[in-house]
Structure 1
């Protein structure tokens, strides 16, 4: 480990000498004003054009100038469960909308990425996004398969009409992987551990330029199935009504808003206990707000009318209807851009879906209990600001009372039969959901620093402390998470560098020891649970570089998990070590 750290230190030292020798020769010039609000830096799939200073003047407190600004089209690959963190090497705003990208690396990594769009005579934009990523897994760590691949294919439509903007998009996502995290048994190399999910989403949004009564309408749908015949349908429609500037003076105005949301969720599992659930929620979000310059006071509520039904093979059908209310109040005092004090209380109801939970933990068994999480109240206070358009910051502390907080609990084997001829999920290698009521204390901070026009530094910190009513341990939730990021361009933006570091403290989980009940003549397995297993924390460092040879051709390189540590995301699930990926990008 010391040698790895020394080698990495020399790499950073060499890179820093190149970077900062050029910084000395550059002037501190920022040619565009950045937004005064702190925003998290993240990769975004840019299948939709963004409009700078959108919405138009009727939706802004101050007159503005409208320009359509393209955002770089970059891959939206999420962190693979066995590969560490991918970061995009392209972060500048000078790009061509249509491109194809292809790369290969160790561990059999194959990366494919494309974005194509065109504007029709009717000023309607249509296009498509395609993303693919696969690896062969950890063949030296596991005798059985740990390979995986994921792909997304999407199509979109944008239309800017006389009264508003329309956006429609349809996406298909495929995740093909294995339940490879086996720690308590030793199956053979040909054991079938396959899991696969298919998800199809359709989203639509129509945003009216004017705030006269009808503000915007949004539609969201999701359809998911998996290798074990689970099915889930989810849909939501939201209508935002508003009447702004009811009273307005030189530096004062009053707005009223009402959000109306209808959402439904239906999930059916075909394995084990065959849990089935359905939810219908109607939500009202009234709000009245008062603005004085940059300061404001918002007073509102979140009212939910929830109907739910749950049943399984071992539990009778349980139907329930309830009204859930939570406050929504926020005050911001902004004497100047550098210092903005804010405080408030909010809350609300969140429907936990199988599809969304899989994005956080893809190793769930295909039979889990789903409950909505109700944040009764969340108190918070914070300070944010923008100092000379060079430094943005946002620091806050909060305290919440939450019912049915969701956690991931490890499963043992589902039978005691003494055999390794088992289903993919029956090796003590999957997780289920578990819920508890309690309190959450948190401290959050984010920082962005722009010392130069072509240098962007960022940092984020999240501290979370749970106090639960029934569970003695908080499973699979780290106490501390932090990220560091940097983006730098040189040689007139022909050469771009990126860095992202992810730091996570250790976590507690439950685990199982599986042993024969009789050593001499075993006939069954005996399972012993440990509810205080520690999963170590980790540091994951990633570098990227891209060199633009000409207008239409560039080459790139990615370095992931450069400390080369096979840390675990969940107990048993080690990630791939150091990865180097190289490729080409063609723009047109």
Structure 2
């Protein structure tokens, strides 16, 4: 075979193979005249293959084509279109009513302890009422000491009421008090002088009514008040006393000024087996008051007319001033005044219940009293007051042991004008609701007019009280009373009657020692109804005396239960 034949044969084979391949491609049209001109697309169906775990056991319903139609309610408001561009007033939202606390107005308390102590107390009230208030109080306390007939008992009953009207407030009260005791005084140098002490009973009945107009902010307001008080007093023997006191007050405000008048009329009488005294006093106190910008000045006079067994007319100054230097923190005050004090057996027996019979009654004249000091607060819970005073007093009453009955006391008067200079201080501290402390201190210097001493008048007296709430259930109380030495007069022979001028050669001065009296107590609140208490008096168990020959009961402890409702 020649070389040329081989080349032609190879070209022919290649051309034939190419045409064969082109005939098998369906996407390309054939160039031959007899080729099909319509394009045909062949698609094989897709058959998915799922695993056995995800196959559906039933076919979904494709015909569920329900649609949700919401229902709407329309409320059309016919409201006028406002074109006001001003700022509307904001309406305050009403606060929800606070739940009222449950008030417990009544309680009953009872207990007993050493020294044959029996204690009972009760208080009842009608409850919360803005227009009417009424209630009653009852107390009993009895004790016995180691000395012969060293016994005492006291009962108190009080009923009160108040009605608050639109223009005035009416109030009234009725009190009854009974003190039972013995003249158990004993002279340690002669203990057999009082083998059978006499018994004494003091009865007191009082009634009082008052009307006061309600306060108003009117700068030209007229205010008034009126009160009437009367009492009947008697003892186991022949002494009797009665008194009626009428008080009135009127005040007219004119801008920063006040024009007013205070008046009182006291009518009373004291009777005993050989004494009968009528003692009446009329007092008028016109004044003018200026109150503005931390300054308060009250200037007036005190007109006093005595009538009855005593007759005199006196006019005293009545001036007070109060200046605020630092609001709520520091105030300076001063006073210049004079007055006549009506003395009575009720007043004397409240201080010294072992009085003799046929006590002389005279009034005490406070010729001039000048005082001044400072007061204010040192922050929340701290208050203070300090005052210095000087008084000139005529016919000052004093107690002395009777010559005929050493364990009874007569009342004498320091005839003339005695001078008294004193210093008084008060403190009050309240750290929180859990701790509160108060204290008071008095220093007094007496310069008698005719007597050698101011009998039974100590120069220094101190008292203090403490309250500490440990928890809401437990609270502690403590108190202390301290008194300096005082002097007593013992007659060596019977004094002159009537008694006018003392005879130093016929009297002996005895020192009554001072004392310190400590007390403590505790309260435990069991629940809202019940609580328990305990109290200890005279912790030092000292047998001190306030008046000569009369020792107090030593340390005594008593406790009990109280119920609130």
With normalisation by structure 2, the TM-score equals: 0.76
- 8 Å contact from structure 1 (residues 558, 582) kept in 2: yes
Change (3 A) 1:164 1:565: same
Match of 2:292 in 1: 292
Q: Deviations along 1:451-482, whole A, 9 cap, x unmatched?
A: 22321111111111111221111100000001
For residue 138 of structure 2, the aligned residue among 130, 134, 153 is 130
Q: Deviations along 1:140-183, whole A, 9 cap, x unmatched?
A: xx3x3111101011211111111122111111111110011131
Task: Please give the secondary structure, in 1, of the residue aligned with 2:347.
Answer: helix
Q: Deviations along 1:560-586, whole A, 9 cap, x unmatched?
A: 110110100100000011111111101
Q: Deviations along 1:160-210, whole A, 9 cap, x unmatched?
A: 111122111111111110011131654488614101111100011111104
Task: Please give the secondary structure, in 2, of the residue aligned with 1:206.
Answer: strand
Change (3 A) 1:462 1:120: closer
Q: How much does 1:338 deviate?
A: 1.3
For residue 327 of structure 1, the aligned residue among 317, 325, 342 is 317
For residue 369 of structure 1, the aligned residue among 357, 360, 364 is 360
Match of 1:238 in 2: 247
CA distance in 1, matches of 2:298, 2:339: 16
Alignment partner of 1:117 is 2:125: yes
CA distance in 2, matches of 1:121, 1:434: 50
Q: How much does 1:389 deviate?
A: 2.1
Alignment partner of 1:381 is 2:386: no
Alignment partner of 1:199 is 2:204: yes
1:421-500 equivalences in 2 (<5 Å): 426-436=405-415, 437-492=417-472, 494-500=473-479
- Higher RCO by CA contacts (8 Å cutoff, separation 6 or greater): 1
- 8 Å contact from structure 2 (residues 168, 212) kept in 1: yes
CA distance in 1, matches of 2:288, 2:467: 40
| Alignment gaps of 5+ in structure 1 | 1-92, 248-252, 310-319, 414-425, 515-527
Change (3 A) 1:455 1:348: same
Question: Structure 1 residues 294-303 or 210-219, which shifts more?
Answer: 210-219
Task: Please give the secondary structure, in 1, of the residue aligned with 2:264.
Answer: strand
- 8 Å contact from structure 2 (residues 174, 207) kept in 1: yes
- 8 Å contact from structure 2 (residues 464, 480) kept in 1: yes
Q: How much does 1:366 deviate?
A: 2.2
Alignment partner of 1:223 is 2:214: no
Match of 2:278 in 1: 278
CA distance in 1, matches of 2:215, 2:418: 43
| Alignment gaps of 5+ in structure 2 | 1-100, 494-504
Match of 2:31 in 1: none
- 8 Å contact from structure 2 (residues 105, 127) kept in 1: no
CA distance in 2, matches of 1:386, 1:298: 23
- 8 Å contact from structure 2 (residues 543, 552) kept in 1: yes
Task: Please give the secondary structure, in 2, of the residue aligned with 1:100.
Answer: strand
Alignment partner of 1:565 is 2:555: no
Change (3 A) 1:120 1:344: closer
Q: Deviations along 1:369-423, whole A, 9 cap, x unmatched?
A: 111111111111101111112311100111111111111111111xxxxxxxxxx
Q: Deviations along 1:105-132, whole A, 9 cap, x unmatched?
A: 1000111100112159994333211011
Task: Please give the secondary structure, in 2, of the residue aligned with 1:473.
Answer: coil
Match of 2:114 in 1: 106
Change (3 A) 1:496 1:529: farther
- 8 Å contact from structure 2 (residues 534, 557) kept in 1: yes
CA distance in 1, matches of 2:532, 2:436: 22
CA distance in 2, matches of 1:427, 1:468: 24
- 8 Å contact from structure 1 (residues 510, 529) kept in 2: no
Alignment partner of 1:255 is 2:258: yes
Match of 1:575 in 2: 552
Task: Please give the secondary structure, in 1, of the residue aligned with 2:360.
Answer: coil
With normalisation by structure 1, the TM-score equals: 0.73
- 8 Å contact from structure 1 (residues 282, 304) kept in 2: yes
Match of 1:411 in 2: 402
Change (3 A) 1:124 1:391: closer
- 8 Å contact from structure 2 (residues 185, 194) kept in 1: no
CA distance in 1, matches of 2:531, 2:302: 49
CA RMSD of aligned residues (A): 2.2
Question: Structure 1 residues 208-217 or 145-154, which shifts more?
Answer: 208-217
Change (3 A) 1:189 1:329: closer
CA distance in 1, matches of 2:129, 2:295: 44
Task: Please give the secondary structure, in 2, of the residue aligned with 1:470.
Answer: coil
Instruction: Report the number of matched residues.
Output: 448
- 8 Å contact from structure 1 (residues 297, 332) kept in 2: yes
Q: How much does 1:326 deviate?
A: 1.3
Task: Please give the secondary structure, in 1, of the residue aligned with 2:531.
Answer: strand
Match of 1:157 in 2: 161
Match of 2:68 in 1: none
Change (3 A) 1:106 1:243: same
Alignment partner of 1:393 is 2:372: no
CA distance in 2, matches of 1:342, 1:531: 42
CA distance in 1, matches of 2:155, 2:102: 27
- 8 Å contact from structure 1 (residues 339, 385) kept in 2: yes
Q: How much does 1:432 deviate?
A: 2.7
Q: How much does 1:442 deviate?
A: 0.6
Alignment partner of 1:504 is 2:483: yes
Q: Deviations along 1:283-309, whole A, 9 cap, x unmatched?
A: 101111111222211101211111131
Change (3 A) 1:340 1:149: same
- 8 Å contact from structure 2 (residues 399, 409) kept in 1: no
- 8 Å contact from structure 2 (residues 492, 508) kept in 1: no
- 8 Å contact from structure 1 (residues 196, 226) kept in 2: yes
- 8 Å contact from structure 1 (residues 151, 175) kept in 2: yes
Larger radius of gyration: 2
Task: Please give the secondary structure, in 1, of the residue aligned with 2:508.
Answer: strand
Task: Please give the secondary structure, in 1, of the residue aligned with 2:334.
Answer: strand
